[in-house]
Structure 1
Amino acid sequence: MGWFVLRRTGAALIVALIASVLVFFGVRALPGDPAVVLAGEGATPELLAQIRHQYGLDRPLPVQYVDYLRQVLSGDFGRSTQDRLPVSQILLERLPITLELALLAMLVAIVIGVGAGIVAAIRRGRAADYVATGFGLIGLSVPHFWLGLLAVLFFAVQLKILPASGYVPFSEDPGENLRRMILPALVLGTGFAAVLMRQTRSAMLGQLASDYVRTARSKGLSGARVVGVHALRNSLTTVVTVLGLQLGALISGAVVTEQIFVIPGFGKLTIDAVLTRNYPVIQAVVLVTVIGYIVVNLLVDVTYGLLNPRVRLSGARHG
């Protein structure tokens, strides 16, 4: 297991390094001159030259990348071009908000998606199966922005039981924080739950039709034990894989959801940074998101290896 984790960690570090190169040069390829953004329109050539020299923009790109990588490794992402605050400080303020939203949305998706997938597999061909399958189709088809607007109209405008927008830090008022995060989490988690339901149902159907499940039934084991201990446990490898692969969709969905519900998280920060050409913030947000995605997939690989020892053995043979 140690060699398996070491190999996966090494591969993750290589991918992170490649991602940093793509992010750095990708941001540099965006239209517009960062010096003009910093100095403002109408700046003199002398002022532009001074700013380029001050921020190292007049040096070759490989040299700039090495300096950038050194700063990132020390936790320094530069300063925002809008308010001159350290980007690392902005990230530390915004990241917990998006993580809270993502965790709540994932909780919603797991409870609804896995539960509906198990019921659909057990009740295959019955009314419960058709209802769960229909829910999955609707969840995959409805855009986040439209579902968010409908949720606001129904729960906030018509019923007036939940706030339409805004954010309250958990440290200030935990109850109000959760009250304001319910709608965004439901909106963001619905599409994720649909994907999870379909994959759980498919995996469960495969396990329920396997020989070892038929053997367990023939031994007189209860249906709950067969489903919960045998079929579900062996289906978790698929569920864990989907959880990791859908993280990117969850983060991209958070961009739209945070805009709808005016949540000052990573998504809203990204859009605001793009609109104002705040290059240091764009660079930091994209890099942190990519690294977070890599870390989650590394955890998925390790968890997959724990759930399925054959993966570790295969990795060891190929290593």
Structure 2
Amino acid sequence: MGVFIVRRVLAALLTLFIASIVVFLGVRALPGDPALVLAGESTDEATLAAIREQFGLDDPLPVQYWNYVSQAVQGNFGLSTRDRIPVAQIIIERLPVTIELTVLAVIVGLAIGVPAGIASAVRRGGPADYAATGLGLFGLSVPHFWLGLLAILVFSVTLRWLPASGFVGIAEDPLENVRRMVLPAVVLGTGLSAVLMRQTRSALLGQLSADYVRTARSKGVSRPREVRHALRNSLTTVVTVLGLQLGALISGAVVTETIFVIPGFGKLIVDAVLARNYPVIQGAVLVTVAGYVLINLLVDLTYAYLNPRLRLTGAST
């Protein structure tokens, strides 16, 4: 198990290193001169030259990359070009909002997708199977922005049950926080629930047709106990899919937070791109990539815990 963990950690660090290079080069490939953005209304050459020298924009790209990485590992992502606030401070303020939204969306996805997948597999060919499959197809097909606008129209404008937009911190008013996060969490969690439903159904059907289940059935094991044992062996697939879908939740949060005007990480990236705020774009995307790599590392370790054969194979190779 120790060898397996070391291999996965090294692979995660290598992935993060490559991602940092891609982010660094990608930001510098954006059209426009960062010096012009920093200069504001002043466009004289002396001001632009001073700005390029101050921020190291005239240095070779390897030097710029080394300076950026050496500062980033210390938590220093530079200053926002818009309001001169440290990027790390902006990230610390915005990240908890997106984490809360993502956690709520995962809860919604698990609460809907896993039970629906179990019901669909156990009642294969029945009304529950067709209903769950239809709902899963609906969840996969409907775009987040359309579902978000429809939810606002129905629950905020027509029924007036929930606020249409805005955000209130959980420490400030927990009840109001929940009221304002319900619609975004349901909209974001719908697609996840559809994916989890289909994967749970497929994995559970495969386990229910396995030899050990047929043997247990022939010995008189009850149906609930049979499903319980098969479900446990199906969790490895569900955990893997859930980890991979967290990346999709982050990208979906960009649209959802914009629709519901939630000051989270997704909206921060959108606003930074529109304002050509390069330090914020660079820091936010790098933190997002680091979070995604960390999530996948945790998924690998969880998968190995649930499936001992995997860690034995990983150690031997």
For 1:221 and 1:162, how far apart are their aligned partners in 2? Answer: 47
Letter in 2 for 1:246: Q
Letter in 2 for 1:302: L
1:155 positional shift: 0.8
1:219 positional shift: 2.2
Letter in 1 for 2:247: G
In structure 2, the residue matched to 1:307 is 306
For 2:93 and 2:220, how far apart are their aligned partners in 1? Answer: 56
Letter in 2 for 1:235: S
TM-score (norm 2): 0.99
Letter in 1 for 2:46: E
Q: How many residues align structurally?
A: 317
Q: Give the SS at the match of 1:246.
A: helix
2:238 equivalent to 1:239: yes
In structure 1, the residue matched to 2:295 is 296
CA-atom RMSD in angstroms:
0.8
For 1:179 and 1:21, how far apart are their aligned partners in 2? Answer: 41
Which digits, 9 at most, give the CA deviation of each residue in 1:186-210, with x for residues without a partner?
A: 0000011101100110000000111
Letter in 2 for 1:67: N
In structure 1, the residue matched to 2:35 is 35
Letter in 1 for 2:227: V
Q: How does 1:228-307 map to 2 (within 5 A)?
A: 228=228, 230-307=229-306
What fraction of aligned residue pairs are identical, expressed as a percent? Answer: 70
For 1:37 and 1:231, how far apart are their aligned partners in 2? Answer: 58
1:5 positional shift: 0.7
1:152 positional shift: 0.6
Which digits, 9 at most, give the CA deviation of each residue in 1:143-183, with x for residues without a partner?
A: 00000011011111111111111100011011110111000
For 1:50 and 1:279, how far apart are their aligned partners in 2? Answer: 18
1:42 positional shift: 4.5
Which digits, 9 at most, give the CA deviation of each residue in 1:48-100, with x for residues without a partner?
A: 00000001111111001101000001110000000100000000000000000
Letter in 2 for 1:159: L
Letter in 1 for 2:282: Q
In structure 1, the residue matched to 2:74 is 74
In structure 1, the residue matched to 2:3 is 3
1:221 positional shift: 2.0
1:223 positional shift: 1.4
2:178 equivalent to 1:186: no
Letter in 1 for 2:151: A
For 2:91 and 2:248, how far apart are their aligned partners in 1? Answer: 20
For 2:186 and 2:233, how far apart are their aligned partners in 1? Answer: 28
For 1:88 and 1:220, how far apart are their aligned partners in 2? Answer: 60
In structure 1, the residue matched to 2:217 is 217
Letter in 2 for 1:29: A
Q: Which runs of 5+ in 2 are unaligned?
A: none
Q: How does 1:198-213 map to 2 (within 5 A)?
A: 198-213=198-213
In structure 1, the residue matched to 2:139 is 139
1:249 positional shift: 1.0
Which digits, 9 at most, give the CA deviation of each residue in 1:83-128, with x for residues without a partner?
A: 1000000000000000000000011001100110000000000000
For 2:169 and 2:42, how far apart are their aligned partners in 1? Answer: 40
Q: How does 1:84-95 map to 2 (within 5 A)?
A: 84-95=84-95
For 1:89 and 1:221, how far apart are their aligned partners in 2? Answer: 57
For 2:218 and 2:41, how far apart are their aligned partners in 1? Answer: 79
2:65 equivalent to 1:65: yes
Letter in 1 for 2:191: G
1:220 positional shift: 2.1
For 1:41 and 1:210, how far apart are their aligned partners in 2? Answer: 70
1:41 positional shift: 4.0
Letter in 1 for 2:3: W
Q: Which runs of 5+ in 1 are unaligned?
A: none
TM-score (norm 1): 0.98
Which digits, 9 at most, give the CA deviation of each residue in 1:3-60, with x for residues without a partner?
A: 1111100110011011111111111111111000000244100000000000111111
For 2:287 and 2:42, how far apart are their aligned partners in 1? Answer: 34
